[in-house]
Amino acid sequence: MSKVKLYACALMVLVGACWSPALRAGDGPIEINGLKFESWSEYTQSDYFRSNGKRCGFNAPEEEKDPFQESGDCPLYSTNPTAEYDPGDILTLQVVVHVLARKTGEGAVPDSLIHSQIDILNEDFLAIAGSNGEDGTYGGIQFVLASDDPDGNPTNGITRHSKYLWFLDAENYWDPLAWDPNRYINIYTNLASGYLGYVPWLPQNSPVGSNEDRIVVLHSAFGRNAPIGPPYDQGRTLTHEMGHYLGLWHTFDFGCGSDSLPTCYTSGDRICDTESEASNHFGCPVSSATCDTPDPIRNYMNYTDDLCMWEFTTEQVRRMRCTTEEYRGDLVDVATSVSGGSSGSSAGVFPVRAALHLENLPNPFNPVTEIRYRIPEAGPVRLDLFSPSGRLVRTLVNGVRNGGDHAIRWDGSDNAGLPVASGVYFSRLQAGGETITKRMALVR
């Protein structure tokens, strides 16, 4: 344990070594470590919150070479951000949100906020036009609430539990609650040990797939216009923690590092196109330079306000996609080959769907587009359209079709015949045991 500063208070609480049990939340005052605050908003603006690193409970492991993590393109302490990891087809990752609340109802995050939080993840990772993340880098990673539970039963991807100690982020609640962490991203909402959120580790130095492999977010900071109020009410806590979950360091981890190639890939945050940074930033400063270059204050992996963040860089996207392939490949639910292939990919993780073809023209469109698809042989075919949060919008095809090329028009309406709003949608083709997903944009 001395080699790695793992888990911060998030694990120390389990042995009573960090904060007092007198931690409560609600619309009124809260008490943390014996300190009283009138509200969560006052707490997040306090010197205590900032000086004790409560924005994020992930602490970087000490910079020491791990002999088990030296190979590959994105191990713990280095990055080889080859263009082979540029976004190709979309990688779809399934999410299950476990809401841990009190019997009084405190901490009971409503479904509407959960759906809005999934929307925010997709806005940020897909740089969706018209969203706060539109000026960022398109990552080709989308998140959907699970539609089937580990036993194959239909689900909305949300579980709810009322137990006070679990609400306090105590006890090993993940053991009875986790859905197979190799297949699902397990997200828990509770008091998060006084942090806005945390992950216990990066996948490069962790037992990936164990029940502890998870993301934890403060319940009042979950979703769009969350109850915590500004400046942490726009869902960027989960975007930040998802970056850790997919292998990213803080932009300020290990200090300034090097600005020179190739040593910038083995120092600082192990990314060269995030400018060097000596320390974290709060608020939304106009500019800052703690090293020799402007600090990346707009980066999701900093500590700035939610509305101040709007980007992952190109190389951060490459590291996350590399991490997904090398460490979390079983999470991928719907995937096609990364453009150009990857020398480090494992068979079966990113299968090539050469037999299927799917596109729509025009794209973007208003109000009608033609969706064209190709299947190799006669058999059952399903073509569905989904919102970025994974909600089914329209089923266009569900039946047996002959092999070959097909086309069908979509007029921008849902299954009830009502027009849908402008935005990004995803078409998903299933045929012959294969699946392929494509992105389209409706602009009214």
pLDDT in tens, the chain (444 residues): 333 333 333 333 332 333 333 344 445 688 877 889 998 889 999 999 999 989 999 977 765 544 444 568 999 999 998 999 999 778 889 999 999 999 999 999 999 999 999 999 999 999 987 888 988 999 999 999 998 899 988 899 999 999 999 999 999 999 999 999 999 999 999 999 999 999 999 999 888 999 999 999 999 999 999 999 999 999 999 999 999 999 999 999 999 988 888 999 999 999 999 999 999 999 999 889 999 899 999 999 999 999 999 999 999 999 999 999 999 989 985 433 233 333 233 222 333 333 577 888 888 888 899 998 888 888 899 999 998 778 899 999 999 888 888 889 999 999 999 999 988 888 989 888 778 888 888 988
Q: Kindly report the number of other CB atoms within 10 A of residue 249's CB atom.
A: 24
Query: Is there a single domain that holds both residue 203 and residue 249?
Result: yes
Domain CATH code at residue 280: 3.40.390.10
Say what the pLDDT of residue 139 is: 94
pLDDT of residue 280: 94
Q: 3-class DSSP state for residue 408?
A: strand
pLDDT for the residue numbered 136: 93
- Same domain, yes or no: 205 and 311: yes
Q: What are phi and psi of 381, to 5 degrees?
A: -135, 140
* Co-location of 371 and 415 in the same domain: yes
* Domain boundary, last residue among 287, 320, 352: 352
- Residue 29 within a domain: no
| Domain co-membership, 365 together with 217 | no
- In the chain, what is the straight-line distance between the N-terminal and C-terminal CA atoms, in Å? 56
CA-closest candidate to residue 350, choices 363, 360, 340: 340
Determine the Cα angle at 77 with ends 71 and 82, to 5°. 65
DSSP state of 413: B
What is the spatial distance between Cα 80 and Cα 270, in angstroms, rounded to a whole number?
9
Q: Is 262 found in the same domain as 192?
A: yes
What's the pLDDT score for residue 68? 41
> Quick one: 315 and 370 in the same domain?
no
Q: What's the predicted TM-score (pTM) here?
A: 0.73
| CATH code at position 438 | 2.60.40.4070
Q: Could you tell me if 348 and 419 lie in one domain? A: no
Please give the residue range of the domain that contains residue 333: 71-352
Residue 30 in any domain: the answer is no
CA-wise closest residue to 121 among 13, 39, 237: 237
Residue 136 lies in a domain: yes
Residue 160: per-residue pLDDT: 98
Please give the pLDDT value at position 64: 53
- The pLDDT, as a whole number, for residue 206 is 83
What confidence score (pLDDT) does residue 305 get? Answer: 96
**Residue 118: predicted pLDDT:** 94
Asked, for residue 37, whether it belongs to a domain, the answer is no
Q: Of the residues 304, 328, 352, which one is the last residue of a structural domain?
A: 352
pLDDT of residue 406: 87
- The strand ranges marked E within 275-391 are 332-334, 357-361, 369-375, 379-386
Does some domain include residue 34? Answer: no
339/422 same-domain check = no
Residue finishing a domain among 313, 330, 352: 352
Instruction: Report the number of distinct structural domains present in the chain.
Output: 2
DSSP string, 112-134: HHHHHHHHHHHHHHHT-TTSTTT
Residue 26 lies in a domain: no
Give the pLDDT confidence score for residue 439 in this predicted structure: 81
Q: How many helices (DSSP H) and strands (DSSP E) are in the chain?
A: 8, 16
